[in-house]
Amino acid sequence: MSLIYEDLVKSLDSKQQAYVDLELPDPTNGEYLLGVFHLIPGGDLNVLQAAAEIAAESSTGTNIKVNTETAFSRTMNALVYQLDLERELVWVAYPWRLFDRGGNVQNILTYIVGNILGMKEIQALKLMDVWFPPSMLEQYDGPSYTVDDMRKYLDVHDRPILGTIVKPKMGLTSAEYAEVCYDFWVGGGDFVKNDEPQANQDFCPYEKMVAHVKEAMNKAVKETGHKKVHSFNVSAADFDTMIERCEMITNAGFEPGSYAFLIDGITAGWMAVQTLRRRYPDVFLHFHRAAHGAFTRQENPIGFSVLVLSKFARLAGASGIHTGTAGVGKMQGTPAEDVVAAHGIQYLKSPGHFFEQTWSKIMDTDKDAINLVNEDLAHHVILEDDSWRAMKKCCPIVSGGLNPVKLKPFIDVMENVDFITTMGSGVHSHPGGTQSGAKALVQACDAYLQGMDIAEYAKDHKELAEAIEFYLNR
Ligand code: CAP
Ligand code: MG
């Protein structure tokens, strides 16, 4: 151990020493959830003292060593096991037996991004990456209905699922809302979502919105001969109302596969996410991440990364979560954040920021696990008959200031087309209206698939030509 480290270890008080083991034999032995934090001490503690205080407060401890701890309770201590002084990073191992049995994700987050974000002893504390061992993955639901199931239903393969969000964000009556859905669907779009605040507003009663969407969908399917999907926001004041909305949709006569449940995962909470995953395993669970910026924005020194949020959404069983446009759209983001997060939840094995996460529930040295990963990388399979061996994929949902002109620039950054994109302004502000906006999006996607420049393709596609004219510098 280097002299600097020896001095740091010597500076620890007896309580702090119980939360540090820089010689932890094998952090990846399956006992621990591993986390990497960016940490800048705030008070007069040095980085190892501050890290020990973080490990204590986020596992078994508090600010002063208590007389009531036991030999067993000490085995549940989180342990600081690695430091990178230059990059201000600390690695912490959490015995996953700490966590509530029964696959509770909310409980984990309460530990590892709970009180510690409020501690005086830190100036900066951001959870940058997490690693789940196979023995822990076994305990959690993971996704059930995936984007591959949606692709099968829509008969849409090898291209992004093309979606919109009805705009204006709020204020349409249920009939007007359904009209916008109809226009997008007959324009060739696949997928329409409620906006994140859509609920039961008096000018757009939930029951009527559902009924009108059903009529609009029936009409559009009949006229286009293509299946369509609508993602209904079921976030509500209480679980009973949330379930009531789910049941209203389920019993409204929609074909299975033609509807998804959208949940505002951060403002409605992880219990709502997991309740929906467990009650409706055959419905696409759409995690909208409104309010995530308070934790994830790159300039925020305190919180967690987009990758961490997205990994926990997959662990909890979301079928898809918004992962950002890597700066191509209107929201803050970069490829290093958003694309790493997207790949981190799509594939069976992905590098992450600090941990290579394999989502197999068997040791990734096992021949079958290796075959699964290779099969997934080659064919992006759904793990139809292997879901006991590994956790199914979670779909990146890419949205925020996108328009048909930005589709290819985003795909180029994403390096694959296995995502859902939802464009609101980018469709409903098209000079020709929503149907033309949808047609322009379909045309931009077709141009990409044919390897054609959109300007070339637009020469004989009016709606795309208008879109290029209108959106190019927006
Ligand atoms: C996009 C959107 C989405 C954001 C969420 C909005 O509308 O409906 O909620 O994309 O951001 O309300 O802004 P536009 P993220 O297409 O009109 O921008 O996907 O980054 O979580
Ligand atoms: Mg929105």
The pTM score is: 0.97
* Total tally of structural domains belonging to the chain: 2
Q: Are residue 31 and residue 151 in the same domain, yes or no?
A: no
pLDDT confidence of 386, banded at 50, 70, 90?
confident
195 within domain boundaries: yes
DSSP-derived 3-state class of residue 407? helix
Q: Are residue 273 and residue 299 in the same domain, yes or no?
A: yes
- Of 111, 137, 163, the domain-final residue: 137
What residues does ligand 1 touch, defined as CB less than 6 Å away?
165, 167, 169, 195-196, 289, 322, 324, 330-331, 399-402, 423-426
> What's the CA-to-centroid distance between 399 and ligand 1, angstroms?
5
Chain centroid to Cα 114, Å, comes to: 19
Alpha-carbon span 458 to 325, nearest angstrom: 24
Q: Are residue 48 and residue 91 in the same domain, yes or no?
A: yes
| pLDDT tens by residue, 152-169 | 999 999 999 999 999 999
> What's the CA-to-centroid distance between 390 and ligand 2, angstroms?
32
Phi, psi of 55 (to 5 degrees): -60, -40
> What's the CA-to-centroid distance between 89 and ligand 1, angstroms?
32
- Of 69, 104, 137, the domain-final residue: 137
Alpha-carbon span 29 to 61, nearest angstrom: 23
User: Which residues have a beta carbon within 5 Å of ligand 2, which is an ion?
Assistant: 195-196
Q: Are residue 308 and residue 407 in the same domain, yes or no?
A: yes
Q: Which two tokens stand for residue 236?
A: 């509500």
Residue 1 reports pLDDT greater than 90: no
Q: Are residue 102 and residue 210 in the same domain, yes or no?
A: no
Amino acid at 418: D
The one-character DSSP state at 204 is B
The one-character DSSP state at 350 is E
Domain containing 325 — which CATH number?
3.20.20.110
Q: Are residue 90 and residue 152 in the same domain, yes or no?
A: no
Q: Are residue 397 and residue 260 in the same domain, yes or no?
A: yes
DSSP-derived 3-state class of residue 460? helix
360 within domain boundaries: no
340 within domain boundaries: yes
198 within domain boundaries: yes
Give the residue-averaged pLDDT of 391-400.
96
| For the CA of 289, the nearest atom of ligand 1 | 21
Phi, psi of 34 (to 5 degrees): -105, 140
Q: Are residue 158 and residue 183 in the same domain, yes or no?
A: yes
Please state whether 298 falls in left (phi above 0), alpha (psi between -120 and 50) or beta: alpha
| pLDDT tens by residue, 218-235 | 999 999 999 999 999 999
Residue 470 reports pLDDT greater than 80: yes
Ligand 1 pocket test target in 399, 403, 434 with most atoms within 8 Å of CB: 399
Strands 89-95 and 79-84: antiparallel
- Of 93, 110, 137, the domain-final residue: 137
Alpha-carbon span 189 to 145, nearest angstrom: 21
| For the CA of 290, the nearest atom of ligand 1 | 21
Report, as residue numbers or ranges, the catalytic residues.
167, 288
> What's the CA-to-centroid distance between 425 and ligand 1, angstroms?
9
Encode burial over 112-151: b for 16+ CB neighbours within 10 A, e otherwise.
bbeebbebebbeebbbbbbbbbbebbebbbbbbbbbbbbb
163 within domain boundaries: yes
> What's the CA-to-centroid distance between 361 and ligand 1, angstroms?
34
Residue 417's domain spans which residues? 147-347+393-471
pLDDT confidence of 377, banded at 50, 70, 90?
confident
Looking at ligand 1, which residue's alpha carbon is closest to its atom 3? 400
30 within domain boundaries: yes
| For the CA of 402, the nearest atom of ligand 1 | 16
Residue 432 reports pLDDT greater than 90: yes
Q: Are residue 38 and residue 174 in the same domain, yes or no?
A: no
DSSP H helices in 187-338: 206-224, 239-250, 270-279, 293-296, 306-316
Indicate which ligand has the atom closest to the C-alpha of 286. Answer: 1
Q: What is the mean pLDDT of the chain?
A: 96
| pLDDT tens by residue, 404-423 | 999 999 999 999 999 999 99
Domain containing 112 — which CATH number?
3.30.70.150
- In contact, 345 and 313? CB cutoff 8 Å: yes
Q: Are residue 152 and residue 133 in the same domain, yes or no?
A: no
The one-character DSSP state at 130 is E
> What's the CA-to-centroid distance between 456 and ligand 2, angstroms?
32
Q: Which residue has the higher pLDDT, 365 or 111?
A: 111
Q: Are residue 162 and residue 70 in the same domain, yes or no?
A: no
Residue 382 reports pLDDT greater than 70: no
> What's the CA-to-centroid distance between 165 and ligand 2, angstroms?
7
Looking at ligand 1, which residue's alpha carbon is closest to its atom 19? 399
| For the CA of 426, the nearest atom of ligand 1 | 16
440 within domain boundaries: yes
pLDDT confidence of 289, banded at 50, 70, 90?
very high
Give the residue-averaged pLDDT of 348-368.
93
DSSP H helices in 113-238: 134-137, 147-154, 174-186, 206-224
Alpha-carbon span 244 to 249, nearest angstrom: 9
Looking at ligand 1, which residue's alpha carbon is closest to its atom 10? 400
Neighbours of 222 (CB within 10 A): 8
Residues with Cβ within 8 Å of 429's Cβ and at least 6 positions away in sequence, in order, are 437, 470
- In contact, 285 and 276? CB cutoff 8 Å: yes
168 within domain boundaries: yes
At which residue do the structure tokens 């986020």 appear? 58
Q: Are residue 166 and residue 205 in the same domain, yes or no?
A: yes
At which residue do the structure tokens 């996953």 appear? 96
Indicate which ligand has the atom closest to the C-alpha of 425. Answer: 1
Alpha-carbon span 233 to 209, nearest angstrom: 11
Q: Give the model's pLDDT for residue 131.
A: 98
Cα-based distances in Å from 442 to 89, 190, 271, 448, 457:
45, 10, 37, 10, 12
Ligand 1 pocket test target in 162, 164, 165, 191 with most atoms within 8 Å of CB: 165
Alpha-carbon span 226 to 228, nearest angstrom: 6
| For the CA of 288, the nearest atom of ligand 1 | 21
